[in-house]
Amino acid sequence: MKKPAIIGVITFLISGFFISPAQAVQVVASNADASGLCTQEINSSTSVSITRIGAECVIRFAPTTTTTYTWNRPTGITSFRVLIVAGGGGGGSNYGGGGGAGGFIDQSTTASASTISITVGAGGAGSLNGNSTDASNGSNSSFVGTSTLTAIGGGRAGSVDLTAAGATGGSGGGGGAISGGGGSGTGAQGFAGGLSRYFGTSDSVATGGGGGAGAVGSAGSFSSSVAGGAGGVGKSSDITGASLFYAGGGGGGTHTGHSGICTATAAGGNGGGGSAGTCKSSGDSTGNPGTSGTNGTGGGGGGGSVFSGRTNAAFGGNGGSGVVIVRFTADIAPIITGPSSATGSTSAISITENTTTVFTFTANETVTWSLTGVDSATFSITSGGVLTVVSKDFEAPNDSDLNNTYVVIISATDSLSLLTSQTLTVTVTNLNESAQITNVAFPALIYKGTTTTISVSLKTPGRLRFFVNGKRITSCLSRVTTGSYPSVSGTCSWKPAVTGRNFVTVQITPTDNTFASVTSNRFEIWVFKRAGNR
Protein backbone atom coordinates (compact mmCIF):
# COMPACT_ATOMS: atom_id res chain seq x y z
CA MET A 1 0.00 0.00 0.00
CA LYS A 2 1.31 3.47 -0.77
CA LYS A 3 1.44 5.52 2.36
CA PRO A 4 1.72 9.22 1.41
CA ALA A 5 3.41 11.36 3.82
CA ILE A 6 0.29 13.47 4.74
CA ILE A 7 -3.38 14.01 5.84
CA GLY A 8 -5.94 13.99 8.66
CA VAL A 9 -7.70 16.60 10.85
CA ILE A 10 -5.38 17.96 13.48
CA THR A 11 -4.13 21.48 13.71
CA PHE A 12 -0.65 22.28 14.90
CA LEU A 13 0.18 25.90 15.74
CA ILE A 14 3.65 27.16 15.03
CA SER A 15 4.28 30.88 15.26
CA GLY A 16 6.74 33.43 14.20
CA PHE A 17 8.91 31.72 11.62
CA PHE A 18 8.83 29.94 8.27
CA ILE A 19 10.59 26.61 7.85
CA SER A 20 11.99 25.16 4.65
CA PRO A 21 10.77 21.81 3.29
CA ALA A 22 13.93 20.20 4.62
CA GLN A 23 12.73 21.24 8.09
CA ALA A 24 9.10 20.45 7.36
CA VAL A 25 6.93 19.54 10.29
CA GLN A 26 4.74 16.47 10.25
CA VAL A 27 1.04 17.21 10.34
CA VAL A 28 -1.04 14.25 11.44
CA ALA A 29 -4.65 13.53 10.63
CA SER A 30 -7.03 14.13 13.51
CA ASN A 31 -8.43 10.64 12.98
CA ALA A 32 -5.10 8.98 12.27
CA ASP A 33 -4.43 5.34 13.11
CA ALA A 34 -1.31 3.24 13.46
CA SER A 35 -0.90 3.04 9.68
CA GLY A 36 0.31 6.64 9.57
CA LEU A 37 -1.83 7.23 6.51
CA CYS A 38 -2.34 10.94 5.78
CA THR A 39 0.59 12.21 7.86
CA GLN A 40 2.04 15.02 5.73
CA GLU A 41 5.17 17.14 5.64
CA ILE A 42 4.49 20.88 5.34
CA ASN A 43 6.71 23.84 6.07
CA SER A 44 4.22 25.07 8.69
CA SER A 45 1.27 23.53 10.44
CA THR A 46 -0.31 26.85 11.37
CA SER A 47 -3.96 26.86 10.30
CA VAL A 48 -3.53 23.49 8.60
CA SER A 49 -5.84 20.60 9.38
CA ILE A 50 -5.94 17.10 7.94
CA THR A 51 -8.70 14.51 7.87
CA ARG A 52 -8.70 10.97 6.64
CA ILE A 53 -11.72 9.67 4.74
CA GLY A 54 -11.14 5.95 4.19
CA ALA A 55 -8.16 5.71 1.85
CA GLU A 56 -8.31 9.42 1.00
CA CYS A 57 -6.74 12.39 2.72
CA VAL A 58 -8.12 15.93 2.91
CA ILE A 59 -5.81 18.83 3.79
CA ARG A 60 -7.31 22.21 4.62
CA PHE A 61 -5.15 25.35 4.48
CA ALA A 62 -7.10 28.20 6.08
CA PRO A 63 -4.96 31.05 7.50
CA THR A 64 -6.63 34.42 8.03
CA THR A 65 -3.75 36.37 6.49
CA THR A 66 -2.15 35.80 3.13
CA THR A 67 0.16 32.82 3.61
CA THR A 68 2.20 30.60 1.30
CA TYR A 69 2.86 26.98 2.27
CA THR A 70 5.38 24.54 0.87
CA TRP A 71 4.13 20.97 0.94
CA ASN A 72 6.33 17.95 0.30
CA ARG A 73 4.30 16.01 -2.25
CA PRO A 74 3.53 12.47 -1.00
CA THR A 75 5.65 9.87 -2.79
CA GLY A 76 3.80 8.26 -5.67
CA ILE A 77 0.83 10.63 -5.54
CA THR A 78 0.42 12.84 -8.61
CA SER A 79 -3.36 13.31 -8.94
CA PHE A 80 -5.30 15.68 -6.72
CA ARG A 81 -8.66 17.35 -6.38
CA VAL A 82 -8.34 20.96 -5.25
CA LEU A 83 -10.74 23.59 -3.98
CA ILE A 84 -9.22 27.06 -4.27
CA VAL A 85 -11.13 30.06 -2.91
CA ALA A 86 -9.61 33.53 -2.87
CA GLY A 87 -10.17 36.18 -0.23
CA GLY A 88 -13.46 38.06 -0.42
CA GLY A 89 -13.65 41.75 -1.28
CA GLY A 90 -14.26 44.39 1.38
CA GLY A 91 -17.70 45.98 1.80
CA GLY A 92 -18.40 49.67 1.12
CA SER A 93 -19.18 52.28 3.77
CA ASN A 94 -22.22 54.55 4.13
CA TYR A 95 -24.75 52.83 1.86
CA GLY A 96 -21.91 51.01 0.18
CA GLY A 97 -22.21 47.85 -1.80
CA GLY A 98 -21.41 44.36 -0.64
CA GLY A 99 -17.96 42.94 -1.37
CA GLY A 100 -17.59 40.38 -4.13
CA ALA A 101 -16.78 36.81 -3.17
CA GLY A 102 -13.35 35.38 -3.78
CA GLY A 103 -12.90 33.42 -6.98
CA PHE A 104 -13.91 29.75 -6.72
CA ILE A 105 -12.13 26.80 -8.38
CA ASP A 106 -12.98 23.13 -7.71
CA GLN A 107 -11.31 20.70 -10.10
CA SER A 108 -8.88 17.84 -10.56
CA THR A 109 -5.25 18.56 -11.28
CA THR A 110 -1.82 16.94 -11.28
CA ALA A 111 1.56 17.66 -9.79
CA SER A 112 4.87 15.83 -10.16
CA ALA A 113 7.40 18.19 -8.57
CA SER A 114 8.73 17.17 -5.17
CA THR A 115 7.20 20.24 -3.53
CA ILE A 116 3.90 22.02 -4.12
CA SER A 117 3.37 25.70 -3.38
CA ILE A 118 -0.01 26.70 -1.95
CA THR A 119 -1.06 30.28 -1.27
CA VAL A 120 -4.19 31.32 0.59
CA GLY A 121 -5.34 34.92 0.15
CA ALA A 122 -6.60 37.22 2.89
CA GLY A 123 -9.91 39.02 2.69
CA GLY A 124 -9.96 42.62 1.52
CA ALA A 125 -10.45 45.44 4.01
CA GLY A 126 -13.83 47.15 4.23
CA SER A 127 -14.15 50.86 3.62
CA LEU A 128 -13.50 52.67 6.91
CA ASN A 129 -15.61 55.76 6.41
CA GLY A 130 -17.27 57.89 3.83
CA ASN A 131 -14.40 60.02 2.74
CA SER A 132 -11.01 58.52 3.57
CA THR A 133 -10.31 54.83 2.91
CA ASP A 134 -11.74 52.85 0.05
CA ALA A 135 -12.41 49.15 0.40
CA SER A 136 -9.89 46.73 -1.09
CA ASN A 137 -10.04 43.57 -3.17
CA GLY A 138 -9.41 40.21 -1.59
CA SER A 139 -6.06 38.53 -2.24
CA ASN A 140 -5.57 35.67 -4.69
CA SER A 141 -5.24 32.02 -3.67
CA SER A 142 -3.32 29.48 -5.74
CA PHE A 143 -2.12 25.88 -6.13
CA VAL A 144 1.06 25.41 -8.11
CA GLY A 145 1.14 21.93 -9.61
CA THR A 146 1.76 20.87 -13.20
CA SER A 147 -0.03 24.11 -13.99
CA THR A 148 -0.77 27.04 -11.73
CA LEU A 149 -4.39 27.40 -10.67
CA THR A 150 -5.19 30.86 -9.34
CA ALA A 151 -8.46 32.02 -7.82
CA ILE A 152 -8.81 35.79 -8.13
CA GLY A 153 -9.58 37.88 -5.06
CA GLY A 154 -13.12 39.21 -4.73
CA GLY A 155 -13.79 42.72 -6.00
CA ARG A 156 -14.16 45.50 -3.42
CA ALA A 157 -17.54 47.19 -3.10
CA GLY A 158 -18.34 50.77 -4.08
CA SER A 159 -18.70 53.47 -1.40
CA VAL A 160 -20.24 56.90 -1.25
CA ASP A 161 -17.81 59.80 -1.78
CA LEU A 162 -15.12 57.30 -2.89
CA THR A 163 -15.33 54.89 -5.81
CA ALA A 164 -18.99 54.28 -6.43
CA ALA A 165 -18.60 51.36 -8.79
CA GLY A 166 -17.73 47.92 -7.47
CA ALA A 167 -14.40 46.50 -8.60
CA THR A 168 -13.78 43.54 -10.86
CA GLY A 169 -12.54 40.41 -9.09
CA GLY A 170 -13.11 36.69 -8.78
CA SER A 171 -16.67 37.87 -8.22
CA GLY A 172 -17.44 41.54 -8.70
CA GLY A 173 -18.06 43.96 -5.87
CA GLY A 174 -21.51 45.50 -5.47
CA GLY A 175 -22.02 49.12 -6.50
CA GLY A 176 -22.36 51.80 -3.84
CA ALA A 177 -23.47 55.42 -3.46
CA ILE A 178 -25.77 56.70 -6.20
CA SER A 179 -26.10 54.32 -9.15
CA GLY A 180 -22.69 52.75 -8.81
CA GLY A 181 -22.29 49.79 -11.14
CA GLY A 182 -21.38 46.30 -9.99
CA GLY A 183 -17.94 44.97 -10.79
CA SER A 184 -17.47 42.03 -13.16
CA GLY A 185 -16.55 38.48 -12.19
CA THR A 186 -13.69 36.45 -13.66
CA GLY A 187 -14.73 33.72 -16.08
CA ALA A 188 -16.21 30.69 -14.34
CA GLN A 189 -14.87 31.80 -10.94
CA GLY A 190 -17.75 34.13 -10.08
CA PHE A 191 -20.38 36.60 -11.19
CA ALA A 192 -20.87 40.34 -11.23
CA GLY A 193 -21.94 42.52 -8.34
CA GLY A 194 -25.33 44.22 -8.16
CA LEU A 195 -26.14 47.80 -9.10
CA SER A 196 -26.72 50.45 -6.44
CA ARG A 197 -29.99 52.46 -6.75
CA TYR A 198 -31.16 55.98 -5.92
CA PHE A 199 -34.80 56.93 -5.40
CA GLY A 200 -36.12 60.45 -4.85
CA THR A 201 -34.69 63.94 -5.04
CA SER A 202 -33.88 65.22 -1.54
CA ASP A 203 -32.63 63.28 1.47
CA SER A 204 -33.52 60.32 -0.66
CA VAL A 205 -33.26 56.55 -0.52
CA ALA A 206 -30.02 54.94 -1.74
CA THR A 207 -29.25 51.23 -1.68
CA GLY A 208 -26.01 49.38 -2.33
CA GLY A 209 -25.79 46.41 -4.65
CA GLY A 210 -24.98 42.93 -3.37
CA GLY A 211 -21.57 41.41 -4.00
CA GLY A 212 -21.26 38.87 -6.77
CA ALA A 213 -20.63 35.20 -6.05
CA GLY A 214 -21.86 31.93 -7.57
CA ALA A 215 -24.72 34.10 -8.82
CA VAL A 216 -25.02 37.79 -9.68
CA GLY A 217 -25.42 40.05 -6.68
CA SER A 218 -28.88 41.62 -6.39
CA ALA A 219 -29.48 45.28 -7.17
CA GLY A 220 -30.62 47.55 -4.36
CA SER A 221 -34.30 48.48 -4.05
CA PHE A 222 -35.67 51.31 -6.15
CA SER A 223 -38.53 52.67 -4.04
CA SER A 224 -39.24 54.19 -0.65
CA SER A 225 -39.16 50.64 0.71
CA VAL A 226 -35.51 50.42 1.63
CA ALA A 227 -33.54 47.20 1.12
CA GLY A 228 -30.00 46.76 -0.05
CA GLY A 229 -29.16 44.17 -2.65
CA ALA A 230 -28.61 40.67 -1.25
CA GLY A 231 -25.22 39.09 -1.78
CA GLY A 232 -25.02 36.46 -4.47
CA VAL A 233 -25.29 32.83 -3.34
CA GLY A 234 -21.97 31.05 -3.18
CA LYS A 235 -20.99 27.69 -4.70
CA SER A 236 -21.02 24.32 -2.97
CA SER A 237 -18.29 21.70 -2.81
CA ASP A 238 -18.20 18.26 -1.20
CA ILE A 239 -14.41 18.02 -1.21
CA THR A 240 -14.35 17.61 2.58
CA GLY A 241 -16.92 14.82 2.49
CA ALA A 242 -19.85 17.13 3.22
CA SER A 243 -21.49 19.56 0.82
CA LEU A 244 -20.58 23.06 2.01
CA PHE A 245 -21.01 26.51 0.49
CA TYR A 246 -18.13 28.89 -0.12
CA ALA A 247 -17.66 32.31 -1.75
CA GLY A 248 -20.93 34.08 -0.89
CA GLY A 249 -21.30 37.75 -1.80
CA GLY A 250 -21.70 40.54 0.76
CA GLY A 251 -25.06 42.32 1.28
CA GLY A 252 -25.47 45.91 0.12
CA GLY A 253 -25.90 48.73 2.64
CA THR A 254 -28.65 51.38 2.74
CA HIS A 255 -29.32 55.10 3.13
CA THR A 256 -32.88 55.29 4.48
CA GLY A 257 -33.35 59.02 4.48
CA HIS A 258 -36.44 60.77 5.83
CA SER A 259 -38.51 59.53 2.91
CA GLY A 260 -37.64 55.84 3.19
CA ILE A 261 -38.96 52.96 5.24
CA CYS A 262 -36.67 50.10 6.21
CA THR A 263 -38.06 46.83 4.92
CA ALA A 264 -35.03 44.53 5.09
CA THR A 265 -31.37 44.30 5.84
CA ALA A 266 -29.52 42.69 2.94
CA ALA A 267 -28.26 39.24 3.76
CA GLY A 268 -24.89 37.95 2.70
CA GLY A 269 -24.93 35.10 0.21
CA ASN A 270 -24.84 31.52 1.48
CA GLY A 271 -21.15 30.70 1.63
CA GLY A 272 -19.83 33.14 4.19
CA GLY A 273 -21.01 36.43 2.71
CA GLY A 274 -21.29 39.21 5.29
CA SER A 275 -24.68 40.86 5.79
CA ALA A 276 -25.16 44.59 5.42
CA GLY A 277 -25.29 46.90 8.40
CA THR A 278 -28.77 46.83 9.93
CA CYS A 279 -31.06 49.23 8.10
CA LYS A 280 -31.49 52.46 10.16
CA SER A 281 -34.97 53.89 10.68
CA SER A 282 -33.92 57.10 12.46
CA GLY A 283 -30.97 59.11 13.67
CA ASP A 284 -29.29 61.58 11.35
CA SER A 285 -25.61 60.77 10.73
CA THR A 286 -25.92 57.46 12.52
CA GLY A 287 -25.34 54.07 11.03
CA ASN A 288 -24.42 50.43 11.42
CA PRO A 289 -21.33 48.67 10.09
CA GLY A 290 -21.45 45.84 7.61
CA THR A 291 -20.63 42.33 8.80
CA SER A 292 -17.34 40.82 7.73
CA GLY A 293 -17.32 37.78 5.48
CA THR A 294 -16.55 34.47 7.19
CA ASN A 295 -12.88 33.57 7.23
CA GLY A 296 -12.04 30.39 5.39
CA THR A 297 -14.89 30.83 2.91
CA GLY A 298 -13.86 33.81 0.77
CA GLY A 299 -17.17 35.55 1.52
CA GLY A 300 -17.50 39.25 0.66
CA GLY A 301 -17.88 41.90 3.35
CA GLY A 302 -21.26 43.57 3.94
CA GLY A 303 -21.88 47.22 3.18
CA GLY A 304 -22.43 49.83 5.91
CA SER A 305 -25.88 51.42 6.41
CA VAL A 306 -26.87 54.95 7.55
CA PHE A 307 -30.11 56.73 8.27
CA SER A 308 -29.03 59.94 6.61
CA GLY A 309 -25.83 61.80 5.88
CA ARG A 310 -22.47 60.18 6.61
CA THR A 311 -20.90 58.48 9.63
CA ASN A 312 -17.70 56.66 10.35
CA ALA A 313 -19.78 54.07 12.18
CA ALA A 314 -21.22 52.77 8.91
CA PHE A 315 -17.99 51.16 7.72
CA GLY A 316 -17.89 48.18 5.42
CA GLY A 317 -17.19 44.69 6.66
CA ASN A 318 -13.92 42.98 5.77
CA GLY A 319 -13.89 40.20 3.23
CA GLY A 320 -13.45 36.67 4.57
CA SER A 321 -10.10 34.99 4.02
CA GLY A 322 -9.88 32.29 1.40
CA VAL A 323 -9.11 28.61 1.71
CA VAL A 324 -7.31 25.88 -0.23
CA ILE A 325 -8.40 22.27 0.29
CA VAL A 326 -6.59 19.34 -1.31
CA ARG A 327 -7.99 15.82 -1.51
CA PHE A 328 -6.20 12.77 -2.85
CA THR A 329 -6.16 9.00 -2.64
CA ALA A 330 -3.41 8.13 -0.22
CA ASP A 331 -3.60 4.39 -0.69
CA ILE A 332 -4.19 2.89 -4.10
CA ALA A 333 -6.01 -0.39 -4.51
CA PRO A 334 -3.80 -3.48 -4.69
CA ILE A 335 -2.18 -4.39 -8.00
CA ILE A 336 -2.64 -8.06 -8.86
CA THR A 337 -0.09 -9.83 -11.04
CA GLY A 338 -1.55 -12.86 -12.79
CA PRO A 339 -0.44 -15.25 -15.56
CA SER A 340 1.89 -13.78 -18.20
CA SER A 341 2.57 -10.89 -15.77
CA ALA A 342 -0.92 -9.52 -16.38
CA THR A 343 -1.78 -6.63 -14.04
CA GLY A 344 -5.04 -5.58 -15.68
CA SER A 345 -8.60 -6.68 -15.13
CA THR A 346 -8.28 -9.93 -17.09
CA SER A 347 -5.79 -12.75 -17.54
CA ALA A 348 -5.75 -16.25 -19.02
CA ILE A 349 -3.92 -19.53 -18.60
CA SER A 350 -4.08 -23.02 -20.10
CA ILE A 351 -3.57 -26.19 -18.06
CA THR A 352 -3.68 -29.84 -19.08
CA GLU A 353 -6.39 -32.04 -17.69
CA ASN A 354 -5.68 -33.68 -14.34
CA THR A 355 -3.65 -30.62 -13.23
CA THR A 356 -4.45 -29.30 -9.76
CA THR A 357 -2.15 -26.28 -9.27
CA VAL A 358 -3.13 -23.44 -11.61
CA PHE A 359 -1.01 -20.37 -10.75
CA THR A 360 0.44 -18.35 -7.87
CA PHE A 361 -0.94 -14.81 -7.84
CA THR A 362 0.97 -11.93 -6.26
CA ALA A 363 0.08 -8.39 -5.15
CA ASN A 364 2.11 -5.28 -4.47
CA GLU A 365 1.05 -5.24 -0.81
CA THR A 366 -0.30 -7.53 1.87
CA VAL A 367 -3.77 -8.67 0.82
CA THR A 368 -6.52 -11.14 1.57
CA TRP A 369 -7.36 -13.32 -1.43
CA SER A 370 -10.87 -14.43 -2.37
CA LEU A 371 -12.68 -16.09 -5.27
CA THR A 372 -15.98 -15.57 -7.04
CA GLY A 373 -17.35 -16.28 -10.50
CA VAL A 374 -19.52 -18.82 -12.29
CA ASP A 375 -16.90 -21.59 -12.18
CA SER A 376 -15.29 -20.82 -8.83
CA ALA A 377 -16.85 -23.72 -6.88
CA THR A 378 -14.07 -26.18 -7.71
CA PHE A 379 -11.26 -23.64 -7.27
CA SER A 380 -9.57 -22.47 -4.08
CA ILE A 381 -6.85 -19.95 -3.27
CA THR A 382 -4.45 -19.94 -0.33
CA SER A 383 -3.41 -16.97 1.78
CA GLY A 384 -0.25 -16.94 -0.30
CA GLY A 385 -2.18 -16.55 -3.57
CA VAL A 386 -1.77 -20.15 -4.80
CA LEU A 387 -4.77 -21.01 -6.97
CA THR A 388 -5.68 -24.69 -7.14
CA VAL A 389 -8.48 -26.63 -8.77
CA VAL A 390 -10.10 -30.01 -8.41
CA SER A 391 -8.61 -32.21 -11.15
CA LYS A 392 -10.40 -31.63 -14.46
CA ASP A 393 -11.14 -34.25 -17.11
CA PHE A 394 -11.00 -32.89 -20.65
CA GLU A 395 -13.43 -35.53 -21.83
CA ALA A 396 -15.94 -34.61 -19.11
CA PRO A 397 -15.92 -30.82 -18.62
CA ASN A 398 -17.98 -29.36 -15.77
CA ASP A 399 -17.61 -25.62 -16.36
CA SER A 400 -20.78 -23.55 -16.72
CA ASP A 401 -20.96 -23.89 -20.50
CA LEU A 402 -19.28 -27.33 -20.74
CA ASN A 403 -16.50 -26.22 -23.09
CA ASN A 404 -13.41 -26.70 -20.89
CA THR A 405 -13.15 -22.95 -20.32
CA TYR A 406 -13.44 -22.05 -16.64
CA VAL A 407 -13.95 -18.44 -15.53
CA VAL A 408 -13.03 -17.42 -11.99
CA ILE A 409 -12.61 -13.94 -10.45
CA ILE A 410 -9.53 -13.45 -8.26
CA SER A 411 -9.90 -10.61 -5.74
CA ALA A 412 -7.32 -9.00 -3.46
CA THR A 413 -8.38 -6.77 -0.54
CA ASP A 414 -5.91 -4.67 1.43
CA SER A 415 -6.00 -3.49 5.04
CA LEU A 416 -8.05 -0.42 4.08
CA SER A 417 -10.66 -2.58 2.34
CA LEU A 418 -9.57 -1.43 -1.10
CA LEU A 419 -10.27 -4.24 -3.54
CA THR A 420 -8.90 -5.18 -6.94
CA SER A 421 -10.24 -8.04 -9.05
CA GLN A 422 -8.83 -9.91 -12.02
CA THR A 423 -11.02 -12.21 -14.12
CA LEU A 424 -9.07 -15.35 -14.97
CA THR A 425 -9.99 -17.67 -17.85
CA VAL A 426 -8.61 -21.18 -17.36
CA THR A 427 -8.62 -23.37 -20.45
CA VAL A 428 -8.25 -27.10 -19.82
CA THR A 429 -6.47 -28.90 -22.66
CA ASN A 430 -6.44 -32.57 -23.59
CA LEU A 431 -3.68 -34.84 -22.39
CA ASN A 432 -2.59 -37.88 -24.40
CA GLU A 433 -3.29 -40.76 -22.04
CA SER A 434 -3.98 -44.47 -22.12
CA ALA A 435 -7.49 -45.77 -22.35
CA GLN A 436 -8.82 -47.28 -19.13
CA ILE A 437 -10.46 -50.69 -18.82
CA THR A 438 -12.20 -50.49 -15.48
CA ASN A 439 -13.67 -53.99 -15.20
CA VAL A 440 -13.93 -57.39 -16.97
CA ALA A 441 -16.73 -59.65 -15.75
CA PHE A 442 -17.46 -63.38 -16.31
CA PRO A 443 -20.32 -65.67 -15.32
CA ALA A 444 -19.86 -67.50 -12.05
CA LEU A 445 -19.65 -70.88 -13.84
CA ILE A 446 -18.29 -71.40 -17.31
CA TYR A 447 -18.83 -74.69 -19.15
CA LYS A 448 -17.10 -76.17 -22.10
CA GLY A 449 -19.10 -75.87 -25.29
CA THR A 450 -21.59 -73.45 -23.75
CA THR A 451 -21.71 -69.84 -24.96
CA THR A 452 -20.39 -67.47 -22.31
CA THR A 453 -20.63 -63.67 -22.30
CA ILE A 454 -17.57 -61.67 -21.27
CA SER A 455 -18.61 -58.13 -20.20
CA VAL A 456 -16.17 -55.21 -20.24
CA SER A 457 -16.55 -51.76 -18.58
CA LEU A 458 -14.25 -48.96 -19.70
CA LYS A 459 -14.10 -45.19 -20.17
CA THR A 460 -13.13 -44.78 -23.79
CA PRO A 461 -15.14 -45.78 -26.88
CA GLY A 462 -13.37 -47.92 -29.46
CA ARG A 463 -12.97 -51.51 -30.70
CA LEU A 464 -12.31 -54.45 -28.42
CA ARG A 465 -10.27 -57.61 -29.10
CA PHE A 466 -10.48 -60.62 -26.80
CA PHE A 467 -7.78 -63.26 -26.21
CA VAL A 468 -7.74 -66.64 -24.47
CA ASN A 469 -4.37 -68.00 -23.48
CA GLY A 470 -2.77 -65.46 -25.82
CA LYS A 471 -4.82 -66.51 -28.82
CA ARG A 472 -7.54 -64.40 -30.36
CA ILE A 473 -11.12 -65.39 -29.87
CA THR A 474 -12.22 -65.51 -33.47
CA SER A 475 -15.75 -64.34 -32.77
CA CYS A 476 -14.48 -61.25 -30.91
CA LEU A 477 -11.74 -59.78 -33.07
CA SER A 478 -13.31 -56.32 -33.40
CA ARG A 479 -16.18 -55.66 -31.08
CA VAL A 480 -17.52 -52.10 -31.19
CA THR A 481 -18.23 -50.58 -27.77
CA THR A 482 -21.44 -48.86 -26.79
CA GLY A 483 -21.94 -45.70 -24.73
CA SER A 484 -19.83 -42.53 -24.50
CA TYR A 485 -17.02 -41.25 -22.36
CA PRO A 486 -16.70 -42.02 -19.49
CA SER A 487 -19.36 -44.74 -19.38
CA VAL A 488 -18.57 -47.30 -22.09
CA SER A 489 -19.17 -51.04 -22.31
CA GLY A 490 -18.55 -53.99 -24.65
CA THR A 491 -19.18 -57.75 -24.77
CA CYS A 492 -17.83 -60.92 -26.29
CA SER A 493 -19.79 -64.16 -26.78
CA TRP A 494 -17.36 -67.06 -26.43
CA LYS A 495 -17.86 -70.85 -26.46
CA PRO A 496 -14.91 -72.43 -24.59
CA ALA A 497 -13.37 -75.41 -26.39
CA VAL A 498 -11.35 -76.90 -23.53
CA THR A 499 -11.79 -77.40 -19.83
CA GLY A 500 -9.45 -76.39 -17.10
CA ARG A 501 -7.64 -73.17 -16.30
CA ASN A 502 -7.67 -70.40 -18.93
CA PHE A 503 -6.37 -66.84 -19.10
CA VAL A 504 -8.41 -64.06 -20.75
CA THR A 505 -7.19 -60.57 -21.77
CA VAL A 506 -8.96 -57.67 -23.48
CA GLN A 507 -7.44 -55.00 -25.70
CA ILE A 508 -9.07 -51.62 -26.50
CA THR A 509 -8.16 -49.52 -29.52
CA PRO A 510 -9.79 -46.09 -28.80
CA THR A 511 -11.68 -44.20 -31.44
CA ASP A 512 -10.11 -40.97 -30.08
CA ASN A 513 -6.49 -41.12 -31.15
CA THR A 514 -5.41 -38.96 -28.22
CA PHE A 515 -5.84 -42.12 -26.16
CA ALA A 516 -3.33 -44.94 -26.48
CA SER A 517 -4.42 -48.56 -26.89
CA VAL A 518 -4.22 -50.62 -23.75
CA THR A 519 -4.46 -54.31 -22.83
CA SER A 520 -6.06 -55.43 -19.62
CA ASN A 521 -4.50 -57.60 -16.96
CA ARG A 522 -4.86 -61.39 -17.37
CA PHE A 523 -7.99 -62.81 -15.85
CA GLU A 524 -7.83 -66.43 -14.67
CA ILE A 525 -10.98 -68.45 -15.30
CA TRP A 526 -11.92 -72.11 -14.98
CA VAL A 527 -13.92 -73.96 -17.61
CA PHE A 528 -15.83 -76.97 -16.39
CA LYS A 529 -17.19 -80.04 -18.07
CA ARG A 530 -20.94 -79.91 -17.92
CA ALA A 531 -22.54 -83.04 -16.39
CA GLY A 532 -24.21 -85.15 -19.03
CA ASN A 533 -22.37 -83.34 -21.73
CA ARG A 534 -22.55 -85.14 -25.02
- Residue 183 CA to residue 311 CA, distance in Å, equals 25
- Residue 40: half-sphere exposure toward Cβ, Cα within 13 Å: 39
Q: Is the separation of the CB atoms in 95 and 177 below 8 Å?
A: yes
366 neighbors 335 (Cβ within 8 angstroms): no
Can you give the residue ranges of every domain in the chain? 23-327, 334-427, 431-526
- The pLDDT, as a whole number, for residue 514 is 80
CB contact at 8 A, 367 and 412: yes
The CA distance from 140 to 119, in Å, is 8
- The pTM (predicted TM-score) of the whole model is 0.65
Look at residue 237 and give its three-state secondary structure: strand
Q: Under CATH, which architecture does the 334-427 domain have?
A: Sandwich (2.60)
Contact status, residue 289 vs residue 277, Cβ threshold 8 Å: yes
- Can you tell me the distance from the alpha carbon of 44 to that of 114, in angstroms, rounded to the nearest whole number? 17
Q: For residue 18, what pLDDT is reported?
A: 36
Q: Is the peptide bond before 486 cis (omega within 30 degrees of 0)?
A: yes
Give one DSSP letter per residue of 245-302, joined into a string: EE-PPPPP-EE-TTT-EEEEPPPPPTTTPPPPPPPP-S-BT-EEPPPPPPTTTTPPPP
Counting as low any pLDDT under 70, the low residues of the chain are 1-23, 33-35, 130-132, 201-203, 531-534
- In angstroms, the CA 408 to CA 192 distance is 58
Tell me how far apart the alpha carbons of residues 201 and 261 are, in angstroms, rounded to a whole number: 16
Q: Where are the beta strands (DSSP E) in 275-381?
A: 287-288, 305-306, 323-329, 336-337, 346-352, 357-360, 362-363, 368-372, 379-381
Tell me: the pLDDT tens digits for 411-424? Answer: 999 877 888 999 99
Residue pair 137/122 in contact (Cβ under 8 Å)? The answer is no
Say which CATH class 431-526 falls into. Answer: mainly beta
Which tens digit of pLDDT belongs to each residue from 394-409? 888 999 999 999 999 9
Cα 252 from Cα 369, distance rounded (Å): 62
Residues in the chain, how many? 534
**CA–CA distance, 334 with 364 (Å, rounded to integer):** 6
pLDDT of residue 500: 94
Q: What is the pLDDT of residue 432?
A: 74
At residue 67, the pLDDT reads 97
